Amino acid sequence: MPGMMMQSQLTLTEVMRHAQANFADSEIVSITADNPQHRYTYSEAFERSAQLAHALQKLGAAPGDRIGTLAWNDYRHFELYYATSCSGLVCHTINPRLFPEQITYIVEHAEDRWLFIDPMFVPLLEALADRLGTVRGYVILTDSDHMPDTSLPDVHCYEELLALQPTRFDWPQLDESTAAALCYTSGTTGNPKGVLYSHRAMLLHTYGVLLPDVFALQSHDAVLPVVPMFHVNAWAIPYAVPVVGAKLVLPGPRMGCGETLTRLMQREKVTIAAGVPTVWLALLKYLRENDDTIASLDRVVVGGSACPWSIMEEFEQRHGVYTHHAWGMTEMSPLGTFNPRVAGSVPAGEARSLRLKQGRAAFGVEMRIVDEQGQSLPRDGVAYGALQVRGPWVCERYYRADESALTADGWFDTGDVATIDARGYLGITDRTKDVIKSGGEWISSIELENFAMTLDGVSEAAVIGIAHEKWAERPLLLVVPKPGADLDTGAILAAFGGQVAKWWIPDDCILVGELPHTATGKISKRDLREQLADYRWPAEADV
C-alpha cells in the first residue's frame, strides 16, 4: 500500500528556496583575486544565481549540459553551483592542479559546453583551447576592470554577463534523480573517472553532513571550507551551510597560506573549518611561529588522508580546538564516516586510539569489510579486509561507463583496507588502489612507473607512497637497473621534468637488485611497503 505523503522532490533548489525564505541576511564572505574582501548576503547570492541562470540560457545552455568550472572557493563559484544545478544543468568542477593532459581528457570526456574560469587559469586554458572541441566558449570570473587580455575564443566577462539580467528565475521543477554535479577522481587506476551526483544524493548527503554527531552545523556557526570547491563539492559545505543559515566563509586562492587563513578566521570569527591534514599543518605552523591563536574556532574537520595525532594534540592543547577525523571519497559525495566528540569520561589512552580511527558511518552509509573471496569479516577491530560501502549517496556507475561500478552483490569497493570494531569505528590500514595521496591530491603510481620504464637502463620500476610530515604521503621510486647499466638516480628523477606535473615527481629514487612479486607476477606493493617501513626521506621534500 503506498504511503499518503506529498511527493516533493529532493532537490538542491529546495536548499536555495529555504535559505532565501529564512536566512536572507546571512552572510557569505570571500577572498577573490579581484575583490579581496567580498561580503554579501544569501539573498544577494541567490539573486545573482538567478541572473546567472538567465545568462546561461542566453548562452544556449540546454538541460543536462555540463558547465565546467576551474575556480577557487569564492562567491562566484557558489553562485555557479546553484545557477547550474537548479536550472537543470550539471556543475562540473575541474581540478586546476591536474596536469594539462588530464584536464583536456576530463573536459573532452565530460563534453563541457562552457568553462567558467578564474583569471589566473586563463594562460592554462589558452594553451589547451585548440583541443577542447566541445567547449563553445569561456567565461572569466571577474569584472570588466579586471578582464585579462586573452586569446581565448568566445570569451565573456562574468559580471558583464550577469548585469541587467532579472534577479528572479523560474526554477524548473526537477525530478530528484536529475544530475546536479560532476566531479572526476584520479583515485583509481587508469584515466580519471567521473562521478555524476544526482539532486537526491546531494540532498540526502547534506542531511547526513548536518547530523549532530557529524558536522552539527547551527545557524550561529561561521563555516570555512578549506577543502576546494573543485574537490567533491567542498565536502558539501556549500549545500549544508545554507540549510541552517550559518555564515559561509570562502578563502579564495590562498587556502594553503597559514597567515591568510588566520586573518580570515579571526576577522570572520570562524567556528568550524574543514580540510586535509596539509592545510592544518600550515595553519598550526603559522600560529606557533607568530604566537597567535583563533579564539572563535571551536572545531576542525580533518579528512582526505589520515590525521596525525600531532595535529589533534596541538589544536587542542594550544588552541582549545577539537579535531574531528573523517573519511570519505569522491564516489561517496564524499561523507563515509565521522569521528564524533569523545566523551570526557573516556580514559586518555583509549580516547587517543579512538580518535585516530576514521570514525563511525554516518546514517545513510553501510559498510563492510571482506576477504579476498568476498566473504564478510568480523567487526572486531582486528580483522582487516577490503572496505565496501553502499547507500543513496554512493556512486553506482562512473559517468559514461558501460559497466556498473558495484560488486555482483551490490557494494562499492572503496579500494581501502580497513578494520571495523564492534562499536562501528572504522580504522583505515592500507589501500589496494595503486595511487598516492599528496596534500589531498592523487598521484598515479602506475603513470610514474610507466614513464620510468621508458628510460634507458631501467629493467623494472615501482612507485609507492611513503608517509611524509607535510604532504601526508609522497612518491618514492624504486628502480631495478638492467644488467651492466650505470644509472644515476638524480638523472632518473630529472627526466620526469615536463613529463608529469611537478608535484608528481618522486622525491627520491632507490636502485635495488629486485622487487617483490605476487604469485601472479605483479609487483607486490604491500610487501614493498613493508620492506620500506623504516625508510626516511633524505630531507624534507617540498613541492
Whether the Cβ atoms of residue 443 and residue 475 lie closer than 8 Å to each other: yes
Site string for ligand AMP, 221-250 (x = CB under 6 A): -----------x------------------
Binding window for ligand AMP (CB under 6 A); candidates: 53-61, 83-91, 297-305, 532-540: 297-305
Active-site residue flag, 47: no
Among 73, 198, 233, 414, interactor with ligand AMP by CB under 6 A: 414
3-class DSSP state of 469: coil
Cell digits of residue 69: 568550472
- Which is nearer to ligand AMP, 225 or 334 (by Cβ)? 334
Nearer to ligand AMP, 24 or 467 (CB): 467
Contacts of 456 (CB under 8 A, 6+ apart): 485
Q: Measured from the CB atom, is 265 or 426 closer to ligand AMP?
A: 426
What's at 372, amino acid-wise? E
> Which grid coordinates belong to 195?
562521478
**Residues 174-193 vs ligand AMP: string with x where CB under 6 A?**
-----------x-x------
Assess whether 442 carries a catalytic annotation.
yes
- Of these, 66, 76, 193, 431, which contacts ligand AMP (CB under 6 A)? 431
Closer by beta carbon to ligand AMP, 247 or else 357: 357
Q: Which one of 8-16, 327-335, 402-410, 533-541 is the stretch in contact with ligand AMP (CB under 6 A)?
A: 327-335
Residue of 66, 109, 324, 437 interacting with ligand AMP (CB under 6 A) = 437
Task: Extract the runs of DSSP E, i.e. beta strands, from 189-317.
Answer: 193-198, 222-225, 247-250, 272-275, 299-302
Q: Is 429 in the active site?
A: no
Closest CA to 441 of 289, 330, 312, 309: 330
- Smallest CA-to-CA distance from 227 within 329, 337, 302 is with 302
Q: Determine, following the binding rule CB under 6 A, whether residue 197 of this chain makes contact with ligand AMP.
A: no
Catalytic residue among 79, 176, 314, 331, which?
A: 331
Of the candidate residues 119, 192, 275, 304, the single one contacting ligand AMP (CB under 6 A): 304
Q: Which H or E run contains 327?
A: strand 322-328
Please tell me whether residue 355 binds ligand AMP under the rule CB under 6 A: no
CB of 406 to ligand AMP, least distance (A): 16
Give Cβ neighbours of residue 503 (< 8 Å, ≥ 6 apart): 97, 438, 439, 441, 443, 543
Positive or negative, the CA dihedral 428, 432, 433, 434 is: positive
SS3 assignment for 379-396: CCCCCCEEEEEECCCCCC
- Name the minimum Å distance from CB 59 to ligand AMP: 31
Tell the smallest beta-carbon distance from residue 387 to ligand AMP (Å): 8
Contact segment (CB under 6 A) with ligand AMP among 150-158, 200-208, 300-308, 391-399 equals: 300-308
Check: CB of residue 282 under 8 Å from CB of residue 258.
Answer: yes
Interface stretch with ligand AMP, choices 133-141, 212-220, 414-422, 494-502 (CB under 6 A): 414-422
Instruction: Pick the closer one to ligand AMP by CB: 328 or 364.
Output: 328
Q: Rule CB under 6 A: is residue 395 a binding residue for ligand AMP? A: no
The span from the CA of 224 to the CA of 314, in Å, is 19
In which region does residue 300 sit, left (phi positive, over 0), alpha (psi from -120 to 50) or beta (all else)?
beta
| 276, three cell numbers | 586535509
Q: Which residues bind ligand AMP (CB under 6 A)?
A: 185, 187, 232, 303-306, 325-327, 329-330, 334, 358, 414-416, 428, 431, 437
Which residues are catalytic, by number? 185, 331, 437, 442
